[in-house]
Structures are given as structure tokens and as C-alpha cells.
């Protein structure tokens, strides 16, 4: 009976996408457990774009976006290292390093990453500025069962978290597409203009579960108050 209720609850949670427009996830303290698990029905991806916004004062390594499957815990991983100036972008456990990605602490930033399995090229756009396009991995798709985690870095399928790599701060506007956004679409995302919402993950209809101390709050933006 308990198992039955649990499975009903899990089904209900998974079946109710939420519109998080104007909201953010707040990760208020380091831990090896607090995280958001994002659910998608899409399990085979021959190309991807991930875009999100973040705000932090971390000077250590941390994960921004961790997608694992059974074959690799770093199937798609956006990992900030070297005191914030370098991004390690993993696809299928292969990594390319993107240097000189300076950004101010205590400020909202947008980041988008693209990859496609045909060319194998990955690219990163920090606050709308492109990186070099670099070869990471080609010839096979990202495939399921996919587990996507915000706030922690997976070293196993859905687990293996390390407090030293957790995210502390705020995150918002997480979207993922099964194709590469054009440079113009990335600029539109960055400037909060019209863009096609993610067809793999859509911030306006997000299916997720949270674990541990984290909050969904109104996004804080400094605007003129009337
Ligand atoms: C990747 O997935 C696409 C469908 O999304 C499929 O057409 C293609 O054959 C797959 N490629 C490989 C190498 O499995
Ligand atoms: Ca990992």
C-alpha cells in the first residue's frame, strides 16, 4: 500500500509541469544532497543546446548542469573550474576546456552551450559572447535513461554528489533544446526577448523534483521600483 501511494505520488509529481516564469531556484547552502532533478520524455538527442542563468559568489569548482546516463556520469556536464575563469564542457565523458571565461561574482549571468553529434563540436556562450568552437565527441547520440541534476554534480546515475562541487546561489530560466540555437536565438535568450522555449526542458513548463534545502522564489532583479 505504501509503495502504491509512493508510486502514485511520484507519478503525480512527474506529471505536473510548473510554469516557473519570474522564479528562480535558490540554493542557500553547500551540501552533498540538495538538488533539483529535471524530467524529460526526450531520451535520444543528436544535438543539444542548454541555456540557463545563474548568480553566485563561489570561487571554487562547481557544477552548473549535470546530465548522466548509465554509460557515463558526464554525458553532458557544464562545470566551472579554476576559480570561475574556466568552463569544462563534457560530452559523453570527453571534455574540452574553455578558458578566459571571466565573469563578475554577485551578478546574474547567462550561459548557453551547444553540441551536435555529427560535427562533434561544442561551443559556449557566456553572456552572449561566443567561445571557440571545439571538437568534443562525435558519432553517437546522447541517450537515456537520462537524469538531469541542478545543484550537484553526478558521479553516478542520479548520485555520487560531492559537497565541494555543489552549486550555491540562484539559478533561473533553464531551457534545453534538441538542436543548436542560432547565434541570434542565443542573443534573444540572453536579452530576455522572444525565443522558442526549450523542447527538451522548458522553464515555463518544467517537470522536476527537489531534494534538500532549496527554495523556489521570485527572481530578484534590480529594477526601478515605482
Ligand atoms: C541519433 O538519433 C537520431 C534520431 O534522433 C537517429 O536518426 C540517428 O540514427 C542516431 N544516430 C546514431 C549514431 O545512433
Ligand atoms: Ca561526474
Distances (CA, A) of 104 to 65, 85, 91, 202, 221: 19, 10, 26, 27, 16
Looking at the structure of the chain, the number of domains it has is: 1
Pocket test for ligand 1, best of 40, 42, 45, 46 (most atoms within 8 A of CB): 46
CATH assignment of the domain containing 196:
2.60.120.200
pLDDT of 32 strictly over 70: yes
- pLDDT, residue 118, reads 98
| Closest ligand (CA of 138) | 1
- With 0.85 as the threshold, say if the pTM is over it: yes
Distances (CA, A) of 14 to 33, 38, 86: 20, 9, 34
Residue 10 has pLDDT above 60, yes or no: no
Please indicate, yes or no, if residue 136 is contained in any of the structural domains.
yes
201 has a pLDDT exceeding 50 = yes
Examine the pLDDT at 61 and tell me if it is beyond 90.
Answer: yes
Contact 113, 123 (CB under 8 A): yes
Q: Give me ligand 1 centre to Cα 178, in Å.
A: 12
Q: Which domain holds residue 116?
A: 11-218
Provide the pLDDT for residue 8.
46
Residue 166 falls inside a structural domain: yes
Does residue 4 lie within any of the structural domains? no
- 6 falls within a domain: no
**pLDDT tens digits for range 133-178:** 999 999 999 999 999 999 999 999 999 999 999 999 999 999 999 9
Amino acid at each position: 500500500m505504501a509503495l502504491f501511494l509512493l508510486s502514485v505520488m511520484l507519478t503525480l509529481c512527474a506529471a505536473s509541469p510548473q510554469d516557473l516564469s519570474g522564479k528562480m531556484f535558490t540554493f542557500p547552502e553547500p551540501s552533498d544532497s540538495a538538488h533539483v532533478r529535471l524530467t524529460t520524455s526526450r531520451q535520444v538527442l543528436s544535438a543539444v543546446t542548454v541555456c540557463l542563468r545563474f548568480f553566485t559568489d563561489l570561487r571554487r569548482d562547481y557544477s552548473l548542469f549535470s546530465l548522466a546516463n548509465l554509460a557515463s556520469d558526464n554525458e553532458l556536464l557544464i562545470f566551472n573550474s579554476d576559480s570561475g575563469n574556466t568552463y569544462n564542457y563534457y560530452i559523453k565523458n570527453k571534455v574540452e576546456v574553455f578558458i578566459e571565461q571571466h565573469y563578475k561574482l554577485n551578478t546574474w549571468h547567462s550561459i548557453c552551450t551547444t553540441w551536435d553529434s555529427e560535427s562533434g563540436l561544442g561551443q559556449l556562450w557566456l553572456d552572449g559572447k561566443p567561445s571557440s568552437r571545439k571538437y568534443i565527441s562525435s558519432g553517437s547520440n546522447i541517450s537515456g535513461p537520462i537524469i538531469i541534476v541542478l545543484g550537484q554534480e553526478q558521479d553516478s546515475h542520479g548520485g555520487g554528489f560531492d559537497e565541494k562541487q555543489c552549486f550555491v546561489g540562484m539559478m533561473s530560466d533553464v531551457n534545453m533544446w534538441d538542436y543548436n540555437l542560432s547565434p541570434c536565438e542565443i542573443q534573444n535568450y540572453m536579452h530576455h526577448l522572444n525565443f522558442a522555449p526549450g523542447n527538451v526542458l522548458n522553464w515555463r513548463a518544467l517537470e522536476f523534483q527537489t531534494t534538500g534545502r532549496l527554495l523556489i522564489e521570485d527572481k530578484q532583479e534590480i529594477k526601478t521600483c515605482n
